[in-house]
Chains A and B, each alone.
Chain A
Amino acid sequence: MIEKVKNIVFQNRFWKSVFRHGMPVNARLRSEAVMSNLFLHIHPVKIYKDSLLFRKTLGLGLISFYLFFILCITGILLMFYYIPHVQRAYQDMKDLEFAVSFGMILRNMHRWGAHSMVALVFLHMCRVFYTAGYRHPREFNWGVGVILFVCTLALSLTGYLLPWDQLAFWAITIVVNLIETMPIIGDDLRYLVVGGTLVGQNALIRFYVMHVMVLPLLVTMLIAVHFWRIRKDGGLARPE
């Protein structure tokens, strides 16, 4: 009976086209299963027992990744309610607070998640630094990590403007005035970022597009590279 069901489920064309190998019953098939799966093959084929210990990594990298994942989910839900227009943006905050079901927890998860992500990415870098994880052969991955950190900060900053309240407005005004002090390109760069001379509708839409489109795509891509390189550079938390 069980055999019959097994046959029906596993021995058909559909199943076989999705999973090209059979059941991972031996080491070879296990490694094949990993190799032919996009999500699994990022992991190394073998992991040293030591590196799974919590105290080795404190799980900081993965927590950062999970936070990014949470931020993507809540962010997409928030996008259903948020309109990046100067007359609507703050009203939409109020809608989330007072009228939308689970609006407040949604917004708070996104907000606190973002704050924690900045902190955890930073702590992750500290951990890597103090365990000398940036040395050969992982120099490139350290570099990718630094770019990811900068992207995290950029996401945090662009998201800060979106509620369009006084806090947001003045914070971004200060930041773009800082940009202006850069030598030679300062003025033009500020103009590019703000889309004008004052923080207004143009700045809002620019920050919005960066926040929900450009930066998340970049981060996703870099995270893939980051994880891939962990495997290629000899696994987690292992000296050379």
Chain B
Amino acid sequence: MTKRLFVKGNEAVAMGALEAGCRYYFGYPITPQSDVPEYIARHLPALGGQFIQAESEIASINMLLGAAACGARAMTSSSSPGISLKQEGISYMAGSECPGLIVNVCRSGPGLGGIDASQADYFQAVKGGGHGGYHIIVLAPDSVQEMYDLAMLAFDLSDRYRIPAMLLADAVIGQMKEGLVAHKYVPPADLAEKTWALTEKCNSGKRKVVKSLRLGDGEMEAHNNNLHARYAEMAQREVRYEGLHLDDAELVLTAFGSCARIAKTALRLAREQGMKVGMLRPVTLFPFPAAPLREHCATARKVLCFELNNGQMVDDVRLALPDKEVAFYGRAPGAGSLPTPEEFLAQIRTHYEA
């Protein structure tokens, strides 16, 4: 059997990123994600990379923009209020078509928030958190293993489409320890060389520009159309999800990340009690798995969406299933009051029997 490590989710995402060839990290500490920079600070120098604790979140995201413009695999990580500070820079990255990884180990509530697990940043992540009508790739790991695996996938997707990618996690996924199989990174065969990047290889005599300011006649409109065409292409090609017991499900659950873990136990208990319940867990939150949802819910009576917030992803579920009854249960947890599988099971029973 492959040797399994026993590590925190925050360490796993750092390990996955370094294995995927990330050699530049820029960030500023904040709970509950500080294990990410801590791990990277310890290991990146030996790999010949650069770890920089910047003077602020805003500085660090702009350093990421710079490293990405030069073609490097680079990342930053933070938590909700810090991610808000980075939004201007993320918009510039989206506008300048600069790939890069942003990890958000989400806090709860607006403002400075709490440090408990929460999924309150779903809207900010998937709807384009900054100005300008853009989107970024958003992946939602639900285990320590996926923190590792999806860090690699995030870099690949980000490079392939020249769109920044975010891993959206929380204190449950970040602080929890589980077994991890740390496998080798294999770059996808179709990943093109970054000929657009501002590197020393620029000897063709042709000028290279990475920019978000586009003042030429029709230039900005064409740029926006181009970005949105790539979002549509991703929706066709890059959607990822996990399906459980969907074949005969009368009630389909949807949940992502830590909340999906709680729901999985509730699902097992419901099945043990003879209820025909299934689950579809979006792994990519953007692009959202709308088509698979439609396909798998075709014969279900009802859909129940669980979230650790007051209802955000449920909007996308409802948009995907306009003719289906979609119920919601969720709450923004406070200290020590995470929803439990028993609590979700009670909701499943109510909706299953109704």
The answer to whether A binds B is no
Q: List residues of chain A with CB under 8 Å of any chain B CB.
A: none
Q: List residues of chain B with CB under 8 Å of any chain A CB.
A: none
